[in-house]
Structure 1
Amino acid sequence: MRAGPPGPVPTATLGCVLVTGLLSMLLLGDGLALNLLIVAVPATLAAYFAARTAGRRPRPWSLTWAVGGLALLVVPALRDAGWPSFLAIVSSVALASLALHGCRTWPGVLLSPLGIFDSILRGLGWGWRGVRERAGGARGAGPVLRAVAVAVVLLLVFGALFAGADAAFADLLGELIPDASLSGSPWRVLLLIVGVVGALAAAHTAAAPVRWDRLVVKRGRARGRVEWALPLIVLNVLFAAFNAVQLTVLFGGYDSVLDKTGLSYAAYARQGFWQLLLATLLTLLVIVFALRWAPRDDPRDRRLVRAVLGTLCALTLVVVASAVRRMDMYVEAYGLTRLRISVVGIELWLGAIILLIMAAGVWGARWLPRAVAASAAVGVLAFGLLSPDGLIAERNVQRYEETGKFDFDYTRQLSADAVPALDKLPEPQRSCAIKPIADGLGTERGPWYATSLGESRARRIIEARPPSVAPGVCGTGSVDTSYSSYR
């Protein structure tokens, strides 16, 4: 599956690798925000030049993965919350691996991230050979690379000395360029190494990718019609019966829930959400194994497969809608939390996968692996752009206005993204909700490249109206303890 060894590393790739390492050293030591996107741009260019020299032309899907990976890195620049940013960074790495490998099959989509790790040591040797070839000559790129390296070292050393000698000059440098003081040198050297190694691994992968698409998963032995279809038909009947109950009970309103179940509105919603989420996941596994053993020699068999699995997918969509509706009912009763918004997002994504499977049954399944990967990336990007912490705070502020109940303990776990919504609370509830977030931010501002838009907005609000409450006030008042009972 390995491609042949790549040719000599291009000079443009070496230059982009050096820029990536320097930017990593200077920008990534203060946190992750816009700096992550800035560092990713030269690394992307390094891979592009390496692929072009190796004769690989960018295809539409590869360009889509590359643009999507860079777009996902906008999330840390916008949001202060760490959990959507983490999902965005992991998804960005996955899309980058797809762009570098150009995979189309299920094994390729699932295994392509391993190709980048496979290229770490190979990329280092490849880059070292390229540097040695150029460093020995008196012409070409060797003198330029040596001159740039010497200039960078001189700037760092004398810039740090002058900054330590004059406070005014230090302030000027602090506003224009990142901190290059000697105090954090070991950490910055590590970041330099990580940036160089990562960019070289990406470039080597682009020049000589692992051919994951050549992995072939043998299809299972086709079963007879009765052996294959009977269990699925029985399952369809069970799904249909359950969905009939859901349509009459769950979507019939509050009175219908009380009459038919004897439970409260929220208790009924809480009772079955997790079971329905698990049922959706198991249905996807059933579809996978059913397709593996499906009869496929006769046109009638293929029509049977489409009919049975299409019906199962359609009935599963009703289960997805029921699960989402149950969680919506529970949120109406007890408010929105990170767990609740996360599992609803997962359930909606599973519903999107089922729709894609239904479309593949009509138009073919060659595009399905890439479409599923794209749907996951779009979901993560949308999740980050929606600002989940801000949405949680906004929904719970609305609930406070309607019921007078608010969980201040849970609010302390939210990030600075929640401050604009919490700012709408009346006093002293506003100060009680914002003060823990303000204390977490502190008074010292980070550099522009390591400060998210969410943190910047929160600081402006806090500076305009600092939270101020008397001691003991935030420990009293109406706190809905039932809100915290299901996180």
Structure 2
Amino acid sequence: MSETPPESPRPEPAPDEPASPGTTPDEGVSEQAGPGRAAPETAAVGARREQIPAPAAAPQAAGRGEAGGGTASMPEPPKIPAYAAQRPGGQGRQGPPRQGPQRQGPPSPWGKPPPSVTTRLRAKKAEPVHTGTLWAALATALLGMALLGDGIGLNLLIVALPASAGAYIAARAAGRRIRPWTAVWAIGGLALLVVPALRDAGWPTFLAMVSALALGSLALHGSRSWLGVFLGSLGVFTSVFESLGWGVRGVRERMSGSRGRYGVVFRSAAVAVVLVIVFGALFASADAAFADLLSDLTPDVSVGDGPWRIFLGLLALVGALAAAYTAAAPVGWDRVIVRPGKARGRLEWALPLVVLNLLFAAFLTIQLTVLLGGYDKVMAETDLSYSEYARQGFWQLLWATVLTLGVIALALRWAPRGGTRDRTLVRCVLGTLCFLTLVVVASALRRMDLYVDAYGLTRLRISVAAVELWLGVILVLIMAAGVFGPRLLPRAVAASAAVGVLAFGLISPDGLIAEQNVQRYRNAHSIDIEYLKGLSADAVPALDTLPEPLRSCALQDIQRTLRGSDEPWYATSWGEARARDILGDWDPGYRALNCRGLSTGDNGDERGGGTDDVYDPYDPYDPY
């Protein structure tokens, strides 16, 4: 590297002394300056540099100016890329992030990866796992391994209780307290797990399990906004992987710090289990009554289903840890901001909705005319049968209700927000639309009533009727939000869905279907045995009242299923237990030999008899 005499004499650095690592080229010095070539401002810069003391860490590594026509040169410091300017240990510069666009360099091979979205949204880092949480997770795993492999029933609630206790302990250790809505979600989730213990039908049980998981996740997060409630109901899954490391660290810390104490606990528990197994087996072999009691109270575990039970135990353990970790460090889903839509002008916003209101009003006027004039007049004018008229309208009105809710959501997003007049306009227009849609809901439910009266009740029909009723509840909640404010609307809608699922499970839909069809047979001697025989054990009390041979034909498949299952008490629903008490050891015998063709009457055809139009294109459960 070439050197030129400095403008003023300075102590030269030692030959082996390196330049200061923080030295940078002088500002204003041309990079093209070389031997025999001077930049325009170098003399002034050199004069200014003489007045600045050199850093204490490198007193000899001062910059050099130039005088006359000479040039100044200095050892160039090694250029360190921005991504490599890290503190020891791989930690980058602490402090607030720099504003404005920044050039992203290649990832550091020794630095930490960037945090995930959920990590950034968590309110705080989870505290070390509490000992009570670890014991609760262990109890959940053991109960899941022992109880969940035999079926679905009360065992779901039994396994969920220690997992809930572990989450509560973790929340208290993190300084969180129970709020009213948290208690609502938690109690509602546990109440939904009562449905599998009561009903034998699989479809209301599945809805209850999914809803219970969603409410439990909401209880752990405590979200308020629309997006927060939606994401919060699924947010527990985002804690699965982090919770595993959290639990492993907690166990490792306790084992390394208290090896002797925990070793005593584990050894004592192992000895107790061995003693219970040995002496329990002896007492069971000595007394038949005690053996029966012991077989009813303890799970039947075999070597063949060992891997399946181990998997269920691990699944329960992961679920308990994920719930506890979420309770200790919840994700702030409410911090995800959705920008409001662009506000429209009054005329641009209100005109389409006013036209839609007029269309709704015209349709409902026709419906009122039908109700006053009677269905006979309408059928005579339209050439439609009674059942065709009922069937034709329900599904269209159901979709009209769903689309109207979408229109209301978009209208609120683009509503004018200028002041009091705009708020009054929005409330009047959308309130009118909600009221007219409520009348449409009532009309749809009335058509479903006619539909069921003509065809009979099925699982699909009772399900869509329940959905239509829930949509009406949502409309009422939207109207209430227009009066009292929308702050509670997202949580109220979620709570109404949970209440609807709980009520749907408690009324026993299969039992209700059987009761309606049995009553229909008594009134019109019309019944579809082929459909009723596919119901669950919840339908046994109603089907048991049918005359022979209809009774035997309807119950033979259910009785065969009950005889083929030997589930323990914790995996048996109350509906199944009641069906066993009613049927006992009953055998349909010869009475069920000729069941084909026993479906009597019109099989759900239109009023007035006949066997035409028995196919229902909207019902996949229709056997025809």
The answer for the alignment partner of 2:534 in structure 1 is 413
Query: 1:234 corresponds to which residue?
Result: 355
How many Å separate the matches in 2 of 1:471 and 1:281? Answer: 45
8 A Cα contact 1:160 1:181, kept in partner: no
Aligned to 2:472: 351
TM-score, normalised via structure 2 length: 0.75
For the 8 Å contact 2:527–2:604, the answer to whether it is kept is no
Asked whether the 8 Å contact 1:164–1:170 carries over to 2, the reply is yes
CA contact (8 A) 2:454 2:604 kept: no
Q: Which amino acid aligns with 1:202?
A: A
Tell me by how many angstroms 1:383 deviates.
0.2
* Seq. identity, %: 63
Match of 1:12 in 2: 132
> How many pairs were matched up?
487
Which structure: greater helix fraction? 1
**Counterparts of residues 126-275 of structure 1 (less than 5 Å):** 126-138=246-258, 142-143=262-263, 145-147=265-267, 150-151=270-271, 154=274, 171-250=292-371, 252-275=373-396
User: 4+ runs of 1 displaced by more than 6 Å?
Assistant: 159-167
Residue 239 of structure 2 aligns with which residue? 119
Q: CA deviation at 1:164?
A: 11
Partner of 1:393: 514
| Displacement after TM superposition at 1:470 (Å) | 3.6
Query: Which residue, out of 553, 559, 573, partners 1:452?
Result: 573
Match for 2:153 among 33, 37, 49? 33
Q: CA contact under 8 A between 2:529 and 2:598: conserved in structure 1?
A: no
Equivalent-residue separation in structure 2 for 1:223 and 1:286 (angstroms):
15
Q: Is the 8 A contact 2:553 2:592 kept in 1?
A: no
Change over 3 Å in CA distance of 1:44–1:269 after alignment to 2: same
Query: Residues 267 and 135 from structure 1, CA distance in 2 versus in 1: closer, same or farther, beyond 3 angstroms?
Result: same
**1:160 CA displacement:** 10
SS in 1 for 2:123: coil
1:88 aligns with 2:88: no
Distance of aligned partners of 1:329 and 1:61 in 2 relative to their CA distance in 1, 3 Å threshold: same
- Taking the aligned partners of 1:382 and 1:252, their CA distance within structure 2 comes to 36
2:237 paired with 1:107: no
Q: C-alpha displacement at 1:436, in angstroms? A: 1.3
- CA drift of 1:114 comes to 3.4
Compute the displacement of 1:170 (Å): 5.9
SS in 2 for 1:474: coil
Secondary structure of 2:235's aligned partner: helix
Is the 8 Å Cα contact of residues 420 and 458 (structure 1) preserved in structure 2?
yes
1:336 matched to which residue of 2? 457
Contact 1:266–1:329 at 8 Å: present in 2 too?
yes
Distance of 2:180 and 2:279 partners within structure 1: 45
Structure 1 residue 460, shift from structure 2 partner? 1.1
1:362 pairs, out of 483, 505, 510, with: 483
Q: Provide Cα deviations, 1:97-148, integer angstroms capped at 9, x if missing partner.
A: 1100011111111001332111111111111111111122347963465246
Q: Deviations over 1:250-285 (max 9, x none)?
A: 465332332443322211010121111111000000
User: Greater relative contact order (Cα 8 A, min sep 6): structure 1 or 2?
Assistant: 1
Q: Please say which of residues 157-166 and 461-470 is displaced more in the overlay.
A: 157-166
Moved more, 243-252 or 296-305: 243-252
Of 16-25 and 249-258, the range deviating more from structure 2 = 249-258
C-alpha spacing 1:354/1:200, structure 2 compared with 1 (3 Å): same
Pairwise CA distance, 1:313: 0.2
Greater mean alpha carbon deviation, residues 443-452 or residues 19-28: 443-452
Structure 1 length as normaliser, TM-score? Answer: 0.95
Confirm or deny: 8 A CA contact 1:33 1:77 kept in the other structure.
yes
Q: 1:134/1:477 Cα in 2 relative to 1: closer, same or farther (>3 Å)?
A: same
Q: Which residue of 1 aligns with 2:58?
A: none
Residue 364 of structure 1 deviates from its aligned partner by: 0.4
The 8 Å contact of residues 428 and 469 in structure 1, kept in 2 or not, is answered as: no
Query: Residues 363 and 349 (structure 1 numbering): CA distance in 2 closer, same or farther, change over 3 Å?
Result: same
| TM-fit CA distance, 1:448 | 0.4
Q: What is the alpha-carbon distance in structure 2 between the residues aligned to residue 352 and residue 396 of structure 1? A: 28
**Aligned-partner Cα distance in 2 for 1:348–1:369:** 18
Give unpaired runs (5+ residues) of structure 1: none
What amino acid sits opposite 1:48 in the alignment? Y
Hey, what does 1:49 align to over in structure 2?
Answer: 169
Contact 1:26 1:178 in 2 (8 A): yes
| Partner residue in 2 for 1:485 | 615
Instruction: Name the larger-Rg structure.
Output: 2
1:292 alignment partner in structure 2? 413
Paired AA for residue 216 in structure 1: I
Deviations 1:216-253 (A, max 9, x none): 11111110111000000000000000011111114653
